[in-house]
Copies of this chain bind each other. A is one copy, B any other.
Amino acid sequence: MSTPGHGTPERRSFGHGDGRILLGHGSGGRLTASLFHDVFLPAFRNPALEAAGDQAVLSLAGTRLAVTTDSFVVSPLFFPGGDIGRLAVCGTVNDLAVGGATPACLTAGFIIEEGFPAEDLRKVVASMAEAAREAVVEIVAGDTKVVERGKGDGLFITTTGVGLVPDGLRLGPGEIRPGDQILVSGHVGDHGVAVMVHRAGLEPGGTLRSDSAPLTGLAQALLQAGPGAVRCMRDPTRGGLATTLAELAAASGTCFQVDEAEIPVRDEVRALCEMLGLDPLYAANEGKLVAVVDPRAATAVLEAARSHPLGREARWIGQAVEGAPSEVRLRTVVGGTRPLDLLEGEQLPRIC
């Protein structure tokens, strides 16, 4: 689940769009948050949902169970570095991973448009199986529905993950304290920009690919740096790094001070973003995590991250500080400061 963020109440108006759902309601930013707070949460209210993490954690028969679900509607279905199947496995595994859970099983629901090529379905399914092997998890249950031509868009997949959370592990924005350091595990924006470029029919001729990858191993490596070393982790998918930071700052009640110069963005991504009018900080990642870390454990955590293949480019990008609660302040490369907020509207529809 990418449970959306915590806009201040006056900003959470659902009234956009004349009472109709807009593309932006699915983009993981402010409109998605309004949908959650105005429609879903009041109807379904319960402690697990209210916690609004990437996954719900339940105590069940003496076990701490993490549960998360995500629907995938990415367009196009195949893109450099992955496809909807790989995304559907990694996305759900990663929501478990950043909660400190190891995956126990996945389920997958397929909604297929009539006329979809069986060969493409086989490719997607093979890709899911491969990603599941990488993530050391099995797909134990599934369902298939078919809708008429023109009532779908090829293929949508909804995956749900069940995982186990170690006893005593405390992770979450409530653990964040002023002085904590903020780590990002690598270059941001690769997935979102790779899909947008491919969708636009551009062939950058470079090496840009989706970063889609299962994060369980990296997340576990960080946690093993020491008890209490990691306060909270998130995977910055829809809405990008900026939205994730804004959500974490709001949920922790601290101020995040972030240095733009420290945020790793590939030159290629930066150039393409300029061309397409995008901001890489709002572009989705599917194989990166953000960790907020106890400063006393910073060296051990960075070392753990960089020792893992998916964390070699890990960097400190800022810290939680006193003052201006719930805000993210970005020190820009030109020396100014600007606030970072949840994604507005629909910069990148159907990116996952």
**0/1 string, A205-225, CB within 8 A of B gives 1:** 000000000000000000000
A276 at the interface (CB under 8 A from B): no
How far is A109 from B161 in the complex, measured between Cα atoms in Å? 12
Cβ contact of A140, chosen from B58, B63, B125, B150, cutoff 8 A: B58
A111 at the interface (CB under 8 A from B): yes
Measured between beta carbons, the chain B residues less than 8 angstroms from A148 are 23, 349-350
A126 at the interface (CB under 8 A from B): yes
A158-B60 in contact (CB<8A): no
A153 at the interface (CB under 8 A from B): yes
Closest B residue by C-beta to A163:
B60
How far is A152 from B114 in the complex, measured between Cα atoms in Å? 12
How far is A46 from B70 in the complex, measured between Cα atoms in Å? 22
Given A60-B104, A69-B109, CB of A128 within 8 Å of CB of B44: yes
How far is A156 from B158 in the complex, measured between Cα atoms in Å? 10
Measured between beta carbons, the chain B residues less than 8 angstroms from A146 are 21-27, 349
A20-B115 in contact (CB<8A): yes
A10 at the interface (CB under 8 A from B): no
Cβ contact of A107, chosen from B23, B114, B160, cutoff 8 A: B160
How far is A339 from B127 in the complex, measured between Cα atoms in Å? 40
**Least CB distance, A39 to chain B, in whole angstroms:** 6
A182 at the interface (CB under 8 A from B): no
**0/1 string, A110-152, CB within 8 A of B gives 1:** 1111111111011001101100100000111111111110111
B21-A116 in contact (CB<8A): yes
A139-B39 in contact (CB<8A): no
Closest B residue by C-beta to A52:
B141
Given A19-B117, A35-B144, CB of A44 within 8 Å of CB of B139: yes
A330 at the interface (CB under 8 A from B): no
A68 at the interface (CB under 8 A from B): yes
B71-A138 in contact (CB<8A): no
Cβ contact of A44, chosen from B70, B109, B132, B144, cutoff 8 A: B132
**Least CB distance, A90 to chain B, in whole angstroms:** 15
A61 at the interface (CB under 8 A from B): yes
Measured between beta carbons, the chain B residues less than 8 angstroms from A117 are 19-21
Closest B residue by C-beta to A139:
B44
Given A43-B129, A145-B73, A349-B148, CB of A162 within 8 Å of CB of B112: no
B63-A60 in contact (CB<8A): yes
Measured between beta carbons, the chain B residues less than 8 angstroms from A129 are 43-44
How far is A349 from B146 in the complex, measured between Cα atoms in Å? 8
A111-B32 in contact (CB<8A): no
Given A61-B62, A129-B44, CB of A71 within 8 Å of CB of B118: no
Interface residues of A (CB under 8 A from B): 1-3, 14, 17, 19-27, 32, 35-36, 39-40, 43-44, 46, 48-49, 55-56, 58, 60-63, 65, 67-73, 75, 104-105, 107-119, 121-122, 125-126, 128-129, 132, 138-148, 150-153, 156, 158, 160, 162, 164, 349-350
A sample of 20 more A-B contacts (CB under 8 A), given A70-B109, A109-B160, A158-B158, is A1-B141, A2-B143, A3-B141, A3-B142, A19-B118, A21-B117, A21-B121, A22-B114, A23-B148, A40-B144, A43-B125, A43-B126, A44-B138, A49-B139, A49-B140, A55-B141, A65-B104, A73-B147, A109-B158, A111-B111
Closest 6 CB pairs of A and B: A26-B146, A158-B158, A160-B160, A71-B109, A69-B107, A56-B140
